[in-house]
Amino acid sequence: MRAPSVTVIIPTCNRAHFIGETLDSVLGQTVPPAQVIVVNDGSTDTTPEVLARYGRRIEVIDQTNSGRPRAVNRAIPEVRGDYLWIFDDDDLAVPQSVERHLAVLEAEPSVDFTYAGCIILQTHPDGRTEEKGPLPMPEVSADEAFSRLLEQNFMQLQAMLVRTRCYREIGLFNDRLNLCDDYDMILRLGRRFTGRRLDAPTFLFRQHAGLRGRPGALFPAEHRSRYWVLENRDIHLRLRAQLGLGEYLPRSLGAGELDGKSRRRALLQRACVMARLALWPEALADFEEGLVNTLPGEPLTALERDLCRRALGKFIRFDLAIEGLVDEPAPGRRFGDILARSDNGDARRLFAGELSRYGWARLRQREVKRGMRALALAQRVGGTGGLFPT
């Protein structure tokens, strides 16, 4: 029987100081890839000379600088492998990466892709590197992977091995995105296919200074999180119009007509996705439909309480959700009104507690105005007890 074959695509631009180490880690796998395609996206440094050293071990595609999505899209038609691994030009693969992914995929034909965690590798301006530990990843079942991916991206393409047919079926990367083209693709994969998580990290995720983005829209690395927020908002507003409400539930619960309990949970899940990005008009519409018009007054389940907590939680490192309520009077007033009309003591106490915790934290950091606004909203949401953490 023919052994499975793996193709690796690595888009690169002006990373001559990293690309050699990256290629060594990919070519040095315990189960070597059958095909490695490097797309030189208009590099103006010594990248061509570095790539030339690898001779026929890699295939090089040269193109005018067009950005990462177009670079990957240029290579996908050339893929010959059964599995596709898309890797970044500054990261490092652990030696057993391909072997670990293939062990699962070959043993379980029903699994369409595998994913794993990563270890942060900090590279300092003087060239020193240090491992900073694993990037946190939530424990989620395959059944709820897509609904949790909608809240936050906990997968990286560098840690995913995907059956090539999946990419053929869902199409190319969105080249209009500047930073989140990978997240957009991961959501498309997660929506349609079944993934399985591996236990151990399979690559080192290099953090370093330098410009990011596509031609004409470059930005420094320290601004990456802000751009991530903006593009995430665009992605989720588009998905809100495309997804059925049931798709915000775990797969086993989202098929067919939703009963009252499933409908409320789906609405709260969608509200959580929207609120975390401070898309409050959309989030408030879902909170109203879920808490006022669907099962009013019925206590929240443990899963729904977790959803509501995550709705006001941090997105990356930003308190977007709470600050969207306390910095703009209109959303805060409507939020308080919805919770008052919901007759749901669980929701009122939970949201009041989250707002009050945030408010006291801001006061301790001498952000007096924002802290007092949060405490005032907590009081409105939960009553006089809302000023105190629960």
Q: What secondary structure letter does DSSP report for 301?
A: P
Which positions of the chain have pLDDT values less than 50?
Answer: 385-390
Kindly state the DSSP code that residue 300 receives in the 8-state scheme: P
Return d(Cα 346, Cα 297) in angstroms, integer.
9
Helix (H) or strand (E) holding 225: helix 224-242
Q: How many residues does the chain have?
A: 390
- Model pLDDT, residue 242: 97
pLDDT in tens, 114-143: 999 999 988 777 777 777 888 888 889 999
Check residue 219 and give its pLDDT: 53
Encoded tokens for 256: 């067919």
Closest CA to 92 of 181, 8, 9, 19: 19
Instruction: Collect all residues with Cβ–Cβ distance below 8 Å to 197 and sequence separation of at least 6.
Output: 114, 115, 116
Task: Write down the pTM of the prediction.
Answer: 0.92
The pLDDT of residue 31 is: 97
DSSP 308-353: HHHHTS-BTTB-HHHHHHHSSHHHHHHHHHHHHHHT-HHHHHHHHH
Q: Which residues pair with 219 in a beta bridge?
A: 212
Residues 6+ apart with CB under 8 A from 388: 356
pLDDT at 179: 87
CA distance 234 to 61: 31
